[in-house]
A and B are shown apart, each in its own frame.
Chain A
Amino acid sequence: MSSKPIAALSSEAALSRRGFLAKIGILFNACAALILAVPIARYLLSSLTIGGAGDHLSWVPLGRVTEFPEGETRLATFRNPFVMPTDGKTVDTTCWVRRIEGDQFQIFAINCAHLGCPVRWFPQSGLFMCPCHGGAYYRDGSRASGPPQRGLFEYPYKVEDSILTIQAGDLPTPGAPSAALVKEKSWWR
């Protein structure tokens, strides 16, 4: 046992050998933390990289064109293109299909452009109504009344071999990328 007093790390006294080693130890741990931080950050942000350049978007079939009578708006169900094993029923989604005539369609997201509640189509009055805050839209998806600041979100579609397919894959929200695909501009952009 040495009788020499050992300076604490925080003391103002000249740097002792032990104190220097303790500081190196802290630095060593900081390096270890930095090396660990990279994979942890990448893991945490992995939900972003899923759809980096919109590669989570895919074309999904809604059904034969003949299933949608001309001049009518019908509910269609599709499975989200990106599925994980624990998703349950949440990956089954719906949309409103309006067949104007021939191969001319409008495919509306079920989510209200205000805060995303499911809008319902009322053919008799020709309106989409939202049960949450009372947003209403005309048959062409344009805003009729209530808090929404824009029309319903639309999915891009194409008709190939009489099969109607839409480009889907993300939750339509006022700021989500799919919103940019719609012709109508958001008011704050």
Chain B
Amino acid sequence: MVEMIRRAGRWFDHRLQLAGPICDAAEHPVPRNTASWWYVFGSAALTVFLLQLVTGILLALTYVPSAGEAWSSLQALNHDVTLGWFIRAMHGWGSNFMVAIVLIHMAQVFLFGAHKYPRELTWIVGVFLLLMTLGMAFTGQIMRFDQDAYWGLGIGASIASRVPAIGPVVVKLMLGGPIIAGATLSRFFALHVFVIPGMLIAFVGLHLLMVLKLGINEWPMPGRIVKRATYEAQYHALTKSEGAPFVPYAIWKDLFFAAFIILAIAACGVYFGPFGPTGQPDPTIIQTAPRPDYFFLWLFALLSLLPPSLETPILLIGPAAVILGLILLPFLSGEGEKSWKRRPIAVVTVLMIAVALGTFTRLAQSAPWSPHMNAWSGDPVPDRYIHNTTALERQGALVFQVKQCRNCHALGNTGGQRGPALDNVAVRLTHDQLIRQVIQGGGNMPAYGNNLSPAETTALVAFLGSLHPPTQRPARDAALDIVFRDGQQKPASTQP
């Protein structure tokens, strides 16, 4: 039996002649210290990519890329097709894992100085692989053709439309027509299923080829300086003196981690289930608060927090500048120290980017800048704020609720966070300042002068004036105290 298999193997190899090159590639010597758990993220990214290919093809057996039917085919996957939900969950979680692993791989490679001579092109191809991974993430979010996908496309179109001069042309090319419709989904399907994966396969091939030809980056030693003239000879000597064949010396860690990642994705899929779809992609249903997927939450936060005047320049120039910077990086620092221990700026840069992305993502999960559209009818004014109040103040509490102030202002920790919480507002603003703020707005607040009758304003301000801790007196205008000192009559509006 064994002899038969061997003979068959010889028969095929006589014709294919692949055994030699494959064995050479598998057993090429790698520096011993690269057989580290730090070096498993590249192969893990490849593993997840292959998993995405498999689950993606499986989904395509059921999915219908038509604006009229995509949503129902997703429902069929979730509920009707046996284990369709599991394949969807694997594909969705796989995408999250892939973005995360590619970013970790990139940070590790950068901190280990692997982008330096002679691996500049490997790094640049890697930058394109990152862009394609993000492209797959965005187009994949569109494949889940639901409300978030529909309005997400609108956001993409709004950003694209801001390109000077050719904005409207770009929007039409992106949408495949004047509006978001069937043609839009079809072209994003073509991108997600044919164009970007095809490019990914080609670029992954190039990336791997260069890793084989140039050798894996050795473990960086502080003080071992990269010089163009001497590096390759040094690396060659290193693999000769303390090299070991990649298979099996280093590969077992890659294999263990690959299996671990696949199981982790499957576990997340089983435990958390598939992503959506949320409501139908029906633009007449406007009771929706669109949110991007996890990997673009930071962008959602950024778009809310940027000063409006900087938004368009940063949106248009920012990505180009970042991509250009990443491509130029190996040319700007192609030589010198590799070890992170001697590259404090590199370490701080990675940490700052990680902290910034993490913070923005965390913020976007609660989205304090978004009004709570239902707070005015859902969250009552806490009892304690209307205990022992006058009739006028209670009327003011009603006005406060009915005029939807709750959508942006919290009381007792419930309500919107767009504006400041008002539990102690009377300590911060005097009676006159409250009137001015309500009527004229300002800061980030609309003016309510046209929407409040004088009686409503009086009641509202009376209520707001009562919002202070029992131990603290409300704010007052000290200057007025002097102007209207004893004996003189105070004007009605300054009466507490």
Contact = CB atoms under 8 A, between A and B. Distances in A.
B207 interface: no
B239 interface: no
Interface in B370-410: 370-371, 373, 376, 402-405, 407-408
B163 A89 contact: no
Contact of A116 (B155, B178, B289): B155
B154 A175 contact: no
A91 B157 CA distance: 16
B434 to A, nearest CB: 17
Given A94-B283, A110-B286, A175-B163, A120 B448 contact: no
Contact of A48 (B167, B173, B179): B173
A86 B303 contact: no
A39 interface: no
B283 A51 contact: no
Interface stretch (A11-19, A21-29, A59-67, A133-141): A133-141
A174 B303 contact: no
Nearest to A57: B178
A170 B151 CA distance: 15
A146 B162 CA distance: 18
Chain B, interface size: which category?
35 or more
A126 B163 CA distance: 33
A134 B162 contact: no
B283 A93 contact: yes
Nearest to A118: B286
B375 to A, nearest CB: 11
A115 interface: yes
A86 B68 contact: yes
Interface stretch (B75-83, B106-114, B181-189, B486-494): B181-189
Interface string B404-419: 1101100000000010
Interface in B263-322: 280-284, 286-290, 300, 303-304, 306, 308-309, 311-312
Interface string B348-389: 000000000000000000000111010010000000000000
A148 B311 CA distance: 10
Given A126-B450, A171-B178, A90 B150 contact: yes
A82 B68 contact: no
Interface in A102-150: 110-111, 114-120, 122, 124-127, 129-134, 136, 138-139, 144-149
A138 to B, nearest CB: 7
A48 B169 contact: yes
A126 to B, nearest CB: 4
Nearest to B304: A133
Interface of B: 66-69, 71, 150-151, 154-155, 157-164, 167-169, 171-173, 175-184, 186, 280-284, 286-290, 300, 303-304, 306, 308-309, 311-312, 369-371, 373, 376, 402-405, 407-408, 418, 441, 444-448, 450-451
A75 B286 contact: yes
A175 B173 contact: no
Nearest to B70: A88
Contacts of A77: 284
B304 A169 contact: no
B403 to A, nearest CB: 5
A89 B279 CA distance: 12
From A45, A47, A93, A111, residue with most partner B Cβ within 10 Å: A47
Given A51-B172, A129-B373, A175-B167, A188 B312 contact: yes
B370 A144 contact: no
Contacts of B67: 86-90
Given A47-B172, A171-B154, A145 B441 contact: yes
B175 A85 contact: no
A80 interface: yes
B481 to A, nearest CB: 33
A77 B370 CA distance: 25
Contacts of A176: 161, 167-168, 171
A144 B67 CA distance: 35
